[in-house]
Amino acid sequence: MKRNLGLLFILALIGACQQSTSTLPEEGILPVDFQVFYELFHRDSTYQKEHIHFPLEGLPDYADSLTIVNNSFHWEASDWVIHQQQLLNDSEFTREVSMFGDFVVRERFIHKERPLITERRFAKEGNEWYLIYYAGLNTFHRL
């Protein structure tokens, strides 16, 4: 009984930390300043590069198991391809956005039919938002 209560408490705590999940930023889930940042991040390539701390932690597209296990991959500024909002309007992908606390946003695009996913994480530092993690398109196992 005590073990079940402890597990219930942990699950409630996790739920409180992960405030919400949304498929659209317009639903009011994300802070207004993040939404402004998000639009500018995708519209202005200079602004985008200024709001990424290189080398950026993440994974390349279709990473091999050794790269994943070693957590050894980092994106470099010289190799960065400017992100645009192409997946946001791609009907083959579902967008999931989660807010953790007030300062971390996780965005995932999951293919509707194939086991493919890409993920980005953003964090607020001071008064500015930054991309802090990017995993390119990779396969995953659905549960």
The SS3 call for residue 113 is coil
pLDDT at 17 over 50: no
**What is the pLDDT confidence band of residue 142, given thresholds at 50, 70 and 90?**
low
DSSP string, 58-100: EE-TT--HHHHHHT--EE-GGGPPPP-SGGGG-TTEEEEEEEE
Write the pLDDT tens digit of every residue in 41-65: 999 999 999 999 999 999 999 998 8
What is the reported pLDDT for 101?
Answer: 92
Contact (CB, 8 A) for 92 and 112: yes
Q: What is the pTM of this model?
A: 0.78
* Interatomic CA distance for residues 31 and 45, integer angstroms: 22
For the chain, what is the mean pLDDT?
A: 83
Nearest residue to 56 via CA among 113, 131, 112, 129? 131
* Interatomic CA distance for residues 15 and 35, integer angstroms: 23
* Interatomic CA distance for residues 2 and 42, integer angstroms: 49
What's the CATH code of the domain at 89?
3.10.450
Structural domain total, the chain: 1
pLDDT at 25 over 50: no
pLDDT at 14 over 70: no
Print the domain residue range for 120. Answer: 2-139
- Count Cα neighbours of 127 within 13 Å in the Cβ-side half-sphere: 0
